Amino acid sequence: MHPDLLRYSCQVALPGFGETAQQLLKQAKVLVVGAGGLGCPAAQYLASTGVGTIGIADFDIVSISNLHRQILYNPADAGQLKAEVACERLQEQNPDITLLPVIDKITSANVLQIIDAYDVIVDGTDNFETRYLLNDAAVLTGKPVVYGAIYQFEGQVAVWNVLTEDGSYSPNYRDLYPQVDATQVPNCSVGGVIPTLAGIIGCMQANEVIKLITNTGEILIGKVLLFDAQTMQSRMIKLGASTKTKITALQQTTEILTINAKATKEGLATHTLELVDVRTDQERDEFDIGGMHFELDEVEDNLDEFKPGKTYVFYCSSGKRSGEAVKLLQQKLPGVKAYSLEGGLGSW
């Protein structure tokens, strides 16, 4: 066996795999979007398996509250960019592959350019706007997406938009969820998540990527795997052989105004800014920096509290929920100026 293949000898020995499949992995280019609970284990196993080029796209920073499920990071990484830290760790794990950090936020203006160089997209996002954007961009460019999602004790895995033998494409995310009001679906910070679930679903995503690249096994096309970590039971939802949605253009993403901690503190000192905490009651009880308090799903019911002429800074633990709150205000109260605290309380 060639010395370069010694590392992969156990997988090369698999029936129906061999050096041909390993070469396909070496030539493949995979973009992992979201270097969080799902992206960390998915990227780690793709790197160890020998995928030749892996892009890691994430504009967020490491927070202490991430560490229980985002296994590529340690406490010393807090405040650093996830994509850069992840690429550094994975490069140490496998020096023979190429790792490319993408630290720009993915928007409708850059998504097509970002995914252009990759063969497969791994959706490890934790917000619906980016998830739909990735899905639509993949459909427009004919690229497959390996989808994963987790909440509390339950996870989902599927493979979207695969070209089938009859020339049609398999179902995509909009065949499952045509549209969702993101403000009504809490993320992991609000609803919680068992950390092992992130590892299980992330590994399943990596497994689907490997099968897709090497043309081995039965890929999760036209169906969604649902997994319950409490009962260790899974079931399949069948969606059909081909997509029934028609996507012709990207929906424009909303640009969320952000402000850093230094500028926020200066604004508070001069009484030109007002704080709004959108974390849970429990998080608020543990630590807060002042201001009004509404949980994210309560903001819309309290819009009369926000006055034109005033400037508000929404904050949460990481900047995710506060970003959703700012987006809501931009839609419902365009005359009110609002910012999201960049990096959340982790940057404070």
Q: Name the token pair of 287.
A: 């630590």
Going by C-alpha positions, the residue among 267, 276, 263 that lies closest to residue 326 is 276
Q: In the numeric block, which tokens belong to residue 278? A: 């959108």
Residue type at position 69: R
10 is catalytic: no
Q: With H, G, I as helix, E, B as strand and everything else as coil, classify residue 123.
A: strand
176 Cβ contact list (under 8 Å, min separation 6): 158, 224, 237, 239
8 Å CB contact between 42 and 68 = no
Q: Which of 10, 87, 203, 316 is catalytic?
A: 316
**Between the CA of residue 224 and those of 89, 157, 171, 221, 347, what are the distances in Å?**
31, 6, 10, 8, 37
Sorted by sequence, the CB contacts under 8 Å of residue 18 that are 6+ apart come out as: 12
Is residue 87 annotated as part of the catalytic site, yes or no? no
Catalytic entry in 10, 87, 188, 203: 188
- Tell me which H or E stretch contains 107: none
Under DSSP, the state recorded for 80 is: S
Give the whole-angstrom CA distance, residue 267 versus residue 337.
14
Residue numbers annotated as active site? 188, 316
